[in-house]
Amino acid sequence: MTESLRRQVTLDEVAERAGVSRSAASRVINNAPHVSRAKRAAVERAVSDLGYVPNANARALASQQAGAVVLAISSENPRAFADPFFAEVVVGISSVLEETDHELMLMMATSARGQARLGQVLRTRQAAGVMLMSMHGDDPLARLAEQADVPVVFGGVPATFEPRYYVDADNRGGARLATEHLVTCGRTRIGTITGRMDEGAGLARYRGYQDALAVAGLDATRVIHGDFSEDGGADAMRELLTAHPDVDGVFIASDQMAIGALRVLQEAGITVPTDVALVGFNDISTARHTTPPLTTISQPIQPLGREMARMLLAVLAGERPSPLILPTRLTKRESTGTSTNPT
């Protein structure tokens, strides 16, 4: 058989010979920067041993797709990206990426179908990297991204492990500030509505509540678990009032939940802040327009998105950035009987 008729070696065969994923082999062949030295050497040996010649059309397609980066969130809510928090994160990410050649892809990947779609995107579109948010417990998204062998930056530390690259807010410190503020306001029967306890943010904010009440010598058992949604906050407040009708202050782990809780208190004829003082978390724009306006913990939501994008770009450039924790602060408003001036 002549050389011209010899069967062309495929990229899959190169990857198998090198013992790496198909995407890793593709990145080596396309001279992408974010590949380990060992993998690069293995792929180069396989290319030489097999006589692999890249297909020009395939390389052109890979070059076009290499600019894509994925923001994937683990959420069962189909409207999750419309949540004020995630919407602000997307604004922050986009403000950084618009100065580059990278395209942002938004994906929800909770269901098996969503996870399969994300896997396909990472494999076939040659996405340069991925940002993951809202990880729950032993979330398969982290393993999926790891198997695809692309740089991964986490928005928030998962509850079960600490990743190499992440950007987070000081959730525990912020929750401690919120609860300390309720103590300072003279509240002694302070409850909390937590976020999801299989999420890092929910767990950290609950621990901050516990920290503050331990120092104050107050009971920390008025606890109801929520899910970060407005309806979840409403349901949790009803449960809290039934279990602890004497509660006089509540730290709520997100503004969305606090808005639902405030509605339930008003429906029950309970005055905020005279009867019950409330503090939320995030300082979304709606928190300024509730009745009364909501005291909350401000975290830099758009900066969170910007720093995630910058960290991913740094990794793509071959750097090894350190994890980043962004500061939080208390913003006092009328739901705790204090002024509207932030502190």
Residue 156 Rama label (left phi>0; alpha psi -120 to 50; beta):
left
Q: Answer whether residue 343 is part of any domain.
A: no
Asked whether residue 280 falls in the same domain as residue 321, the answer is: no
CATH number, position 238: 3.40.50.2300
**What is the structure's pLDDT at 290?**
96
Do 182 and 254 fall into the same domain?
yes
Q: Is 341 within the bounds of a domain? A: no
- Name the residue range of residue 129's domain: 65-169+301-326
Q: Is residue 211 part of a domain?
A: yes
Question: How confident is the model at residue 20, as a pLDDT?
Answer: 84
Which of 63, 81, 115 is a domain's end point?
A: 63
State the CATH number of the domain containing residue 10: 1.10.260.40
175 and 295 assigned to the same domain: yes
164 and 306 in a single domain? The answer is yes
| 112 and 146 housed in the same domain | yes
Beta strand 329-331 with 295-298 is antiparallel
Is 127:68 a contact under the CB 8 Å cutoff?
yes
For residues 251 and 262, state if they share a domain: yes
Q: Tell me the residue type at 82.
A: A
Same domain, 55 and 76: no
238 assigned to some structural domain = yes
Pair of tokens at residue 312:
């991913």
**Does 258 lie in the same domain as 112?**
no
Same domain, 38 and 28: yes
Same domain for 71 and 89: yes
Is residue 342 in some structural domain?
no
pLDDT tens string, the chain, 343 residues long: the values are 344 345 677 878 888 999 987 767 776 876 665 567 888 899 899 988 888 876 554 554 444 445 789 998 876 665 666 678 888 999 999 999 988 888 898 887 666 777 777 777 776 656 788 999 987 767 777 777 667 678 889 999 988 888 889 999 999 999 999 999 999 999 999 999 999 998 999 999 999 999 999 999 999 999 999 999 999 999 999 999 999 999 999 999 999 999 999 999 999 999 999 999 999 999 999 999 999 999 999 999 999 999 999 999 998 888 899 999 999 999 999 999 975 444 4
Number of domains in the chain: 3
Same domain, 14 and 81: no
Bridge partners (DSSP) listed for residue 190 = 249
Residue type, 266: Q
